[in-house]
Structure 1
Amino acid sequence: MAEFLGRARICKEDLTCPVCMDLFSEPVTLSCGHTFCQRCADGHWSSRDPGTQCTCPTCRAAFPSKPSLSRNVVLASMVCQLQTEEDARVAEGTWCCEICRHEASHRCIRCEMLLCQVHSDAHRKKKGHCLVDRTVDLNTLCCSEHGKPFELYCRWDDSLVCMVCKVAGDHEHHQLYTVEKAYMKFKNVLAREEGHLSDMQLSISTCIEELRNASNVMQNAMKQQKDGIEGKQKELHSLVDDVAAHLDRQLSDRFRFMLHQFEQQIWDLQQQMVALQESEAILKVAMQQDDTVTFLHGYKNLQDRLKSVIWVQDTLQSMAAQTETPESLDLEALIDNVKGTYFRKFYGCTPMLEVNSAHPRLLLSEDFLTATVTDLPKPYPSHADRFESHIQVLGSVGFSTGCHYWEVDLSSAERCSVGAAYASTPRKCYGPSSMLGRNPVSWCVRKAGTAISAMQDWKETVLGMAEPLQFLGLCLDYEAGTLSCYRAETMTLLHTFRTTFTKPVFPALWICWTNDSLSICPLG
């Protein structure tokens, strides 16, 4: 019996109906030798066209009349025993190979046999048999409509279908692949996608690394800037402390000198008091003198003493004027002085002049800080940046960010303009629009003798000056869009140009008369 069951297990695939692909249910055998479920055979013949003969679903053998079907008892018994054994195995929860009874590792989708690793390798070679892990629910691998295993893949619907779906279902005329072909096709697609994903991961990893590096650079830059700010803060505190100490010393020295004067005057007055008391005593003695000769003999000396009383009164009036409260220190002037120190220390620069932009009549010094107007043109080479219409020159470096402060000595120029300009300032045009302050791309303070004015795009603002302008300080704040002009000696604000800078800004000079000169003051 055990041998019989072993053979039955080996032939389990032969106990499957070729129509429904399930184990036989009421198996019947035709005269041609093929066996089917009784309901499958009846269903097959009932669906034939009227007037046609009954045929075998497998070999298409024709029968003159509908065959009389008899139950195949042997096959039915084998199916019953197999089903009983499978039910017992499921109840016991065991997974045994249906051939050798060793532990099963796989299950065949087509014949549902449990197989060990050894028999799985042999069974896998059978055409149309696909093995899966023993724990896989076969219901998920079969068509829910027909209960048949998935053997085809519909490309139109991107779905798995069974053979019945192909013949009689909704996929009859669809493009179908065998599951093996679809498997290889889509596996190759995924292999390409895997390479693409690997490339994307590599790109993302590279981008992450670059971002981390950029983040580190940014953090280092931020730390450096913070350190720089802390350094500037310390310098500012030191500057303020120095100014406060200087003011304290100046105030102390001033009041110490005045207190010394007061003490000296008090001592002098005390000496005068002693002299007055002595004169008063002598006067009283003289008034009591009855002898005329003796009185007159001492009168002259007494008169000389009394004259000193008038001098003491004049001294008292002078001292009374000096005891008034002294004038307060000029804090505004001191603040302006601090402002100048601040600008020179933190923003001060010494822009050099660009020889290629200098007008032929401008002679530049060896350090490129002084421009002097000459009688005859200099043999400068022709250059696109050179001013030809007006005696002007720009700085060699333009400012496109930050705050910058520079000073210009105007003491050797009677008529001149000092300011800033874009590189696009007209250079070859001989009209007035190429002069500093007479176009929208330049800003300047113009000096004409004692008259001072601010000019930009022909708009002139007259600046009242109590004293001749000797040194001009210019503070450019690019982001704020301001160019502030100061009397550099006192840091008195003269004028502030306001705009939005969009290009690099260059220091600019214009000089009118021969032998006049302008000089950039060295700072820092």
Structure 2
Amino acid sequence: MASHDLRRELFCSICLNLYTGPVTLRCGHNFCRVCIDQHLNTQDESGVYSCPECRAEFQERPVLQRNITLCNVVECILSTSPHQEEITGICCTYCIDSPVPAIKSCLHCEASLCDNHLRVHSRGPEHVLTDPNTNLEMRKCSVHKKILEYYCTEDAACICVYCSEEGHRGHQLEKLEKASRKKKQNMIDVLQKLKTKRKEFEKRVLSLEERWRIAQEKVSGEAERVTALFTDIRKQLDDLEKRILCEISRQEEQRSLSLSDVIQKLEMKKAKLSKKMRHIEELCNMTDPLTVLQDPDTGDLCDPEVGGDDEDTGGHDKTHDVDVDGITGMLHAGFSDIVTYLQTIFYGQGPADILLDVNTAANNIVISGDLKTATWTKIRQKRSETAERFLDSQVISSRRFTSGRHYWDVEIHGSALWMVGMCYPSIDRRGLQSHIGDNNKSWSLYGGQGYKNQCFVMHDRKLLWLPHQISSNRFRICLDYEAGHLSFYELCDPIRHLHTFTATFTEPLHAALYICYGHIKISGSAFMRIHHNRRHHRRHHHT
């Protein structure tokens, strides 16, 4: 019995295992260093520290002193006992000869019982049995040293019968078993909610992982697409280079052959002239006048062959030069074909030909003769008031789009307020809700001098400010009718995506422009310009 009691003194009352690095509090109780550190950490917020064994309180966090003697004893037992694992658990108090695991502990007797001793143990009501526990003192009231039987719901404390009559009189009390069942039920409910929430988190994680996977696939696919596109462009450029170099070589070869023929002819004439010159020199040196006068080769000194032949010399200099204009034309046509090819890939079709419909232009808007420029003016235009004409500062294109992919560019100057976008032909032509973006039949990009380089987009009166600072006055509008996408880009360097509307288009779409003097006084007219790209070359137009 004495050896077993001594063995019990080697167990930490917190972890119920042999001491590991035992330390001592000022009250004299010993604990594992890690265990007591964790216990004191839980009391940091309250600022009052207590011993978990005797409840002695310390105003400051106690300094932990290493118990060298106890540490040596534990090390000695660990090194000499071949069955140390058998004494690390809770053993029966009454099994002296050899340690036997306990299955219950009696709070009244403060003893742990194996199966055999439990059979002969008293069944009296004062003998409260619990799961095996070495720190049975913790199951008793620290004040009255009585078994904790009740739970005070108001103070959330376990108390003994004497506490219920003193500090907890009048409080709502419950038996420990009942209070424990309620708390377990609450914990089960909380656990179920946590499980549900965890499942939601798992679903969100799976969803995000799927989105990440799809995004990675899109990135990989886009990289492959761009690589293939540049490979194709390089191939087309290489083919164009080969064609032009072959044409230059062909012209050079033709020119060389032609010039070689001319040179050969001139060399023959040169030799003939040299021979005639030598003969004349010989005659000039003769003293016999009869021989000079009767020489047959000098009968006509003005022989046409003696003179220069322009058609054989200088006349060929320009005729046989490389055809620079032709080469330039081939380059222009080749590059234009490549640009058209790229436009077809990116947009499905080339740039849209936008012409403004004068019949829809408000009477404070001037439309240029080429139908590319819309200018705000104070002078009211004398156009007839019709149902299709806008009342206020707005105009739409004559062309409408019912399918395909299209794009066009706009350039804005000096406008206090401008709007660019698209609308259905059924848009209202009167009132504030006729402005593009202020209804469910139009989509627009807003900006102006009054917004200090900020823009926003709007549809059905729902406004969204864009986070970007606008640095350019040129924008691109891209339409993919079947996909239901209307996108806006700022044509800065590099080009920047501003926003994309997604919708199911149910009517034809017209390009729409709005210009207003606004609340800022402007010197001169406000106008917009649409840059229209035709095949093989680029032109800039006002809108």
Alignment TM-score, normalising by the size of structure 2: 0.48
More helix by share: 1
TM-score (norm 1): 0.49
